[in-house]
Structure 1
């Protein structure tokens, strides 16, 4: 459901067209809105996303919305690419990761370092002491296997993550956490406001509201600490 954006006529987004295209792709894939995803993928490829950019976004989806949504979204990407090829459109393949992710203890070490850098400090707490397996999975699978893949920059990954989480109800604390992470990797407050407007314009009022509330809570937290 599209709703009107509150960006005034003539206002310029600080996100470029490619970055803006990532947001609805991530949100529609997360919500399982396959018809809308197909349209968003076409728009994203037209806006400069490469095939591997789109693949990376939809593979990363598994960590936030589960393997079924990720697999369905990747299947839709295959269909979109086949249709575009039949129409004579040759989409750029894009880059592959420049190195192979480590394994074993080295992967845990790399993932822990990535998580610490993204979060702005070590991540620990009672939840991870209660269920240490989830801590290991986060560090090795998400921040290791996925975030070690350097063919999609971290700002793009965070735009995608916030889009994915905002599309789902009940994840307000995670959306706020990723607003903080987005700022840690160089997205400005205005970039993130633009993200909320893309959600409002392209996805739903509910998704936009979740993102907007999380951003305001994060900015208030930063102001309180300063």
Structure 2
């Protein structure tokens, strides 16, 4: 096709500013783009008829899927279906907003933790807090370095205290799942910087394993294997569930 022919083709098909694309959904636009390859083999009217037919079919299929979903949800009238759709959209929006807020809070906490680590390392004279530098610092110190300090536990204790003081209070009031926690559970999550959703999952798994293995208890070592997080946090959750009587440390008596 010559250059003039290409220009004429583009203008005839209104490809520079196609009006119908403004009213199309994402799926319809993807279908429209896939059908563009057939333009050169069809007249303008034939191609428009093809696109309109397939887009109409796509819309009908989508509407059928929506009606099937409404029926499965127990809707019997159009008003009930509209109410269900509005509620679903609201829930999706709220879930997306909570997820974004949770991600932002996690990122902010991580940044604070990094700054706190750098502050602690400066107190201990370790310089850079990157993983590689920390390893090199530990190698350079060795056993002799610890002995020279007189009390090897002192620098660690000081660092831990500095880190704890530097971190802000862990506020879970707006996080998903907080409303499902008792006051002691909320305190546990706040003190150990746990997301409520993560705690609830740990609680669910440990209780399930305790019931599943009855009369044998779920072991602390099993809990370490279930959750790939700091063992000290696992210990706190494990001990808390023991105190609440939700799991058992000793083998239950059988009759």
TM over 0.5: no
TM-score, normalising length: structure 2: 0.23
Structure whose alpha-carbon radius of gyration is higher: 2
Q: Which has the higher contact order (CA 8 A, sep 6+)?
A: 1
